[in-house]
């Protein structure tokens, strides 16, 4: 499934303050007094001015307080500006909330988490919410389930019950299996993704996956050709849709689940009204089921029934001037470009003693450290030695391109005590006359012995991760990356703010197909701010 293109929504301010706190009031405000509707926006952004300690402890209290002062007409207007929230309320009311009074009553029944779910799917994603009809027929958890649930599969099936042939497509289109070992066919996938895959809300940036990255992401050990599913136009033979999956051994709260990790769902823009998305999902599910894989793992920038967890994107400028010129990074109020360039400047060399590029001889030590460190999280993939080699080993592809960078720290006793990794995905700068691409480094996996101490020493881990990630930023800058992206998963909340990452406008929702799971912390709180106290239980990074 598609991730989310994201860009900064607020510059990083010193001492942890967000520049968004300095936003001017709406033009309809009277003098310095903000409207009650704007107060709701403040609560949703985590900017309530309330000094009450009880309200600070309970975000819903702030929200309810702001909501109580609105007239039904004001509430209805607020809902009208958020289509996905309106749909959520309509589903909750069974379509009966026709008047302003009804809308107000329904909104007051929701808690802040429900409101944020609706808002997260607003804008360009609102039209995708029609897929609810499809998901209601699938073995996925439903919205509205309250309290702790029994974890496990939702539907038990047998291979003999799985259709042996795919469902028919509309006239003029046919199923194909793409051969990614064939240069011509992977070029077709590459071109489809580059023109029709995920882009940001303003259509300024779009993921730009190279053939080398696609092979790395879709052809790990255990990959199957039949999991590279395409749809062609019968007459022109043009590839118009694609979806893929790879097998993954997922550890979910100490239970091992063999999943299909679904990714790269892309449909030609002219065919997005043909309802191909449900058909593609059904087909990749059918092919997985024929291999006795009954669960699926996928992520999306849109809200579907029902996220296991939601993480937020964060961005750290490495080449601020370029990011500013393409419209990725904003210029903060009362600042100048040279100030921002200086703010994000990095040293020329790293500082961690014993830091070096990972070598093949390090594989076993890296796997051992990975397993111990990742065991702290609620959901993470378990790698074999062959898989770890594939995902972590730095190598130059035949094209001359490098996809992944991994560094280890070796102490005086020749023991590997830490490692971190990042991978590369370019984004196209759509319609920009000066720059065509942005080179983006994505935080991948990391581990350190400092996180394994008993008792757990969070301050020491925070210090160590900041040292490692700071060196990672220096290395990414050395390799000409323009920006370093990370999610709020794992222990990232311990270093994102300190390393000058700014919160993005994108969220990434994690889903499990045919498996009910109690929620996992995504590393942000109900106000969508970093949750350094609880951190995240998500230990899964999908390219």
**DSSP tag of 167:** P
Q: Of the residues 139, 141, 220, 543, which is catalytic?
A: 543
* Strand duo 255-267 + 295-300: pairing: parallel
| Element spanning 259, H or E | strand 255-267
Nearest partner of 219 among 94, 42, 357, 390, judged by Cα: 390
Contacts for 214 with CB less than 8 Å, ≥ 6 apart:
180, 186, 189, 190, 193, 264
Asked whether 487 and 311 are in contact (CB, 8 A), the reply is yes
HSE on the CB side for 17, CA within 13 Å? 6
Compute the radius of gyration of the chain from its Cα atoms. Answer: 24
Asked whether 327 and 204 are in contact (CB, 8 A), the reply is yes
Contacts for 411 with CB less than 8 Å, ≥ 6 apart:
354, 417
Contacts for 448 with CB less than 8 Å, ≥ 6 apart:
369, 373, 417, 418, 419, 461, 464, 465, 468
User: How many whole angstroms from its chain centre is CA 379?
Assistant: 15
* Strand duo 379-381 + 205-208: pairing: unpaired
218 three-class SS: helix
Contacts for 541 with CB less than 8 Å, ≥ 6 apart:
442, 443, 444, 445, 487, 489
Q: Is the peptide bond before 306 cis (omega within 30 degrees of 0)?
A: yes
455 class by beta-carbon count within 10 Å (0-12 exposed, 13-18 middle, 19+ buried): exposed
Alpha-carbon distance 341 to 49, whole Å?
32
Q: Is 83 a catalytic residue?
A: no
Active site residues: 543
């Amino acid at each position: 499934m598609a991730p989310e293109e994201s860009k900064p929504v607020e510059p990083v301010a010193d001492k942890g303050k967000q520049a968004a706190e300095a936003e001017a009031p709406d033009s309809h405000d009277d003098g310095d007094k903000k409207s009650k509707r704007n107060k709701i926006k403040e609560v949703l952004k985590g900017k309530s001015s309330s000094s009450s300690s009880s309200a600070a402890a309970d975000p819903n209290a702030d929200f309810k307080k702001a909501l109580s002062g609105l007239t039904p007409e004001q509430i209805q207007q607020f809902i009208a500006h958020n289509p996905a929230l309106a749909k959520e309320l309509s589903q909750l009311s069974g379509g009966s909330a026709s008047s302003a009074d009804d809308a107000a009553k329904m909104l007051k029944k929701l808690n802040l988490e429900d409101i944020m779910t609706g808002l997260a799917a607003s804008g360009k994603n609102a039209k995708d919410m029609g897929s609810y009809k499809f998901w209601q027929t699938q073995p996925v958890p439903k919205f509205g389930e309250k309290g702790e649930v029994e974890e496990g599969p939702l539907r038990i099936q047998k291979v003999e019950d799985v259709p042996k042939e795919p469902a028919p497509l509309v006239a003029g289109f046919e199923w194909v299996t793409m051969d990614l070992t064939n240069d011509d066919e992977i070029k077709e996938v590459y071109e489809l993704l580059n023109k029709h895959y995920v882009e940001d809300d303003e259509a300024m940036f779009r993921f730009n996956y190279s053939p080398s990255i696609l092979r790395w992401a879709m052809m790990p050990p255990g990959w199957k050709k039949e999991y590279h599913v395409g749809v062609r136009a019968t007459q022109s033979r043009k590839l118009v849709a694609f979806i893929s999956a790879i097998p993954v051994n997922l550890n979910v709260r100490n239970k091992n689940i063999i999943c299909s990790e679904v990714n790269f769902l892309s449909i030609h823009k002219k065919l997005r009204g043909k309802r191909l998305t449900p058909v593609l999902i059904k087909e990749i599910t059918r092919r997985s089921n024929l291999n006795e894989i009954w669960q699926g793992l996928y992520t999306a920038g849109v809200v579907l029934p029902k996220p296991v967890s939601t993480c937020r994107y964060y961005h750290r400028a490495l080449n601020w001037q370029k990011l500013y010129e393409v419209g990725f990074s904003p210029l903060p109020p009362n600042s100048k470009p040279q100030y921002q360039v200086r703010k994000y400047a990095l040293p020329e060399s790293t500082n961690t003693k014993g830091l070096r590029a990972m070598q093949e001889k390090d594989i076993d030590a890296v796997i051992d450290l990975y397993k111990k460190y990742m065991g702290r999280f609620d959901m993470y993939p378990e790698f074999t030695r062959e898989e770890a080699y594939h995902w972590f080993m730095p190598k130059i592809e035949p094209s001359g391109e490098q996809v992944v960078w991994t560094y280890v720290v070796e102490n005086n006793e020749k023991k590997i005590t830490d490692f971190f990794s990042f991978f590369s995905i370019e984004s196209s700068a759509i319609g920009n006359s000066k720059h065509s691409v942005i080179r983006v480094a994505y935080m991948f996996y990391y581990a350190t012995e400092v996180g394994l101490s008993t008792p757990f020493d969070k301050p020491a881990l925070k210090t160590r991760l900041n040292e490692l990630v700071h060196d990672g930023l220096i290395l990414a800058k050395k390799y000409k990356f323009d920006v370093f992206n990370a999610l709020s998963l794992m222990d990232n909340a311990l270093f994102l703010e300190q390393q000058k990452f700014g919160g993005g406008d994108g969220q990434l929702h994690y889903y499990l197909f045919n498996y009910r799971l109690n929620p996992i912390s995504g590393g942000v709180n109900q106000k969508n701010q970093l949750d350094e106290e609880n951190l995240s239980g998500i230990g899964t990074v999908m390219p």
